[in-house]
Amino acid sequence: MSASYNPGGPEYDWVLSSGQPAPESITDKIYGNTLSISEIKIADIPDVDLSKTGVTKFGSFSVEVIDPVSDYLELLETVFDFQLIRSLISRPDFSCGY
């Protein structure tokens, strides 16, 4: 339901954590709700530069732009020793088929 790993839903969990599509019962309900939209309100705030990470505040409203690649790399670095992998694959006696 979200392009991020941030919590969502009333209980902060859409229960879609394994990446599967939302059940049709949920998407049908969402679609049904879109049919009753009668107006769209747009906040009168300056544009947010989405190319720069950080938090931009407009009164009590804030927008946080993140770098998901950087966040994911930081997570991977806690799981894999990239320097060790780099030294392994750079050895002349190492070969790998994929």
pLDDT at 31 over 50: yes
For the ranges 11-15, 21-25, 41-45, 74-78, which has the lowest average pLDDT?
11-15
Catalytic residue from among 4, 17, 51, 60: 4
CA-wise closest residue to 48 among 39, 36, 60, 61: 61
pLDDT in tens, 55-72: 999 988 899 999 999 989
pLDDT at site 23: 86
User: From CA 46, how far away is CA 20, in angstroms rounded?
Assistant: 36
Q: What is the pLDDT of residue 7?
A: 54
Active site residue 51: no
Q: Is 59 left (phi over 0), alpha (psi -120 to 50) or beta?
A: left
pLDDT at 1: 44
| Residue 14 pLDDT class (50, 70, 90 cuts) | low
Give 92's Cβ-side CA count (13 Å radius): 0
Q: Which amino acid is at 81?
A: D
CA 15 to mean position of chain CA atoms? 16
Question: Own/partner pairs for 1-4, CB < 8 Å, 24+ apart?
Answer: 1/26, 4/66, 4/68
Neighbours of 71 (CB within 10 A): 13
